[in-house]
Amino acid sequence: MCTTSHRHSIFCILPPHVLRSIVERGTPEQRQMAANTLAVDATLRAFRASARSFEAAPSVDALALPAEKRCTVYDAEHSQELPGRRLRGEGDPPSADVAVNEAFDGLTDTWNFFWNVYGRNSIDDEGMALDATVHFGSRYNNAFWNSQQMVFGDGDGRLFNRFTIALDVIGHELGHGVTEDEAGLAYLFQPGALNESMSDVFGSLVKQSSRNQTADAADWLIGEGLLAAGVQGVALRSMKAPGTAYDDPVLGKDPQPAHMDDFVRTYEDNGGVHINSGIPNRAFYLTATRLGGYAWEKAGRIWYETLRDSRLRTNSGFRRFAALSVANAGRLFGVPSVEQTTVASAWDDVGISVGHGLLT
């Protein structure tokens, strides 16, 4: 039987040849069970092998076993060793440590968002465990994704509060895992800015969904509440108005552009990945608010499907992503459609013109 201990039980399915053997030689009940399992198994295999564009998320009934969330929070106890001491997992009661609970709830909300909205079973769509470490380092002013888990600092209290305080930051970090799994956008220059923007999109959507906010009610700020009291700023970034999130004597002024005319050419920040992400961020904000309703239903779906489009490469830039988003909007909602036109004009408004029908 199954011997793997670290993956979800969905992987521990009996291999087809064993099931077929049962169909041939088992009792009537065993044969029925095996036949059902083979049918679902065939569907699962076809589903995975097929082109990755689906009109709707698969229903839970279509899968052999329900997706299972596996969130765990660890404590690095101010060291930089990962993952640290395990403090809270599924089924455990809340901790006395607020950072632990915030991390756990954030992982949970993000997992729930991807599953409920896009039918995606965790970051890799295969039930990957979601791990987070809190209290990383000493007054560490940052949070990051180390390619396998989330890591949170406590902040120094002077510039930053604890990094678990912002749900969108948690969604942002886990979003990097989704982007790496689907498109592998290189973390450099324009593809890196797209990578960053995708994470801001996911982070925003997780936050909006948790608050049941429509696009027009959302604040479109990333990391609100993260800047300590006394800092001249409201958030790390604004998707609505890139470049306006902060202007502080110590932090400097928010350097994000909102339009290609102001694209920043730099070798800092991996080629400005956190800077130029303002441009695709604004394109998403415009799309979502012009379409109205919940941002994850149409705008988010178009962006998610574009991320999963096999034509999006690791070195794709803004123009290619924009063209694919217009193509995917057409595929999902029709050619022509209000949705497709809105996406195209949003990109146009940030300085990227996409011809309709360039890609279908």
Partner 1 sequence: MRITFKSSGGVAYFPGLSAPKTIDVSSLPSDRQQEIRNLLAESRFFDLPARTPPRKGAADYQTHTITVADDAGQHTVEVSDPVPPSLGRLFDLLRELS
Query: How far apart are CB 9 and partner 1 at their closest, in Å?
Result: 25
- Give the nearer residue to partner 1 in terms of CB position, either 83 or 330: 83
**Binds partner 1 by CB under 8 A, chosen from 16, 54, 95, 187:** 187
Give 175's contacts (C-beta < 8 A, 6+ positions apart). Answer: 198, 199, 200, 201, 202, 203
Question: In angstroms, rounded to a whole number, what is the distance separating the alpha carbons of residues 152 and 174?
Answer: 12
- Give the nearer residue to partner 1 in terms of CB position, either 218 or 275: 275
Coil, strand or helix at 132 = strand
Segment interacting with partner 1, rule: CB under 8 A, options 49-57, 97-105, 194-202, 340-348? 194-202
**Binds partner 1 by CB under 8 A, chosen from 4, 5, 50, 147:** 147
Tokens 């949070």 belong to which residue? 143
**Binds partner 1 by CB under 8 A, chosen from 106, 155, 223, 330:** 223
Query: How far apart are CB 171 and partner 1 at their closest, in Å?
Result: 12
Reported residue count of the chain is 360
User: What are 120's two structure tokens?
Assistant: 């995606």
CA angle 271, 190, 267 (to 5 degrees): 10
Find the binding residues for partner 1 in span 101-120 (CB under 8 A). Answer: none
Q: DSSP class of residue 7? A: S
Find the binding residues for partner 1 in span 256-295 (CB under 8 A). Answer: 268-270, 272, 274-275
- Give the nearer residue to partner 1 in terms of CB position, either 215 or 236: 236
Segment interacting with partner 1, rule: CB under 8 A, options 1-9, 32-40, 112-120, 247-255? 247-255
Q: DSSP class of residue 58? A: P
Segment interacting with partner 1, rule: CB under 8 A, options 24-32, 53-61, 195-203, 349-357? 195-203
CB 106 within 8 A of CB 223: no
How many residues contact partner 1, by CB under 8 A?
44
Q: Is 180 in the site for partner 1 (CB under 8 A)?
A: yes
- Report CA-CA distances (Å) from 74 to 20, 263, 295: 43, 39, 32
* 221-222 and 237-238 strand pairing: antiparallel
Question: In angstroms, rounded to a whole number, what is the distance separating the alpha carbons of residues 64 and 70?
Answer: 18
Quickly list DSSP for 82-98. SS-EEEE-TTPPPPS-H
Segment interacting with partner 1, rule: CB under 8 A, options 8-16, 27-35, 63-71, 242-250? 242-250
| Contacting positions for partner 1 (CB under 8 A) | 79-82, 136-138, 141-148, 151, 163, 169, 172-173, 176-177, 180, 184, 187, 195-196, 199, 223, 236-237, 248-253, 255, 268-270, 272, 274-275
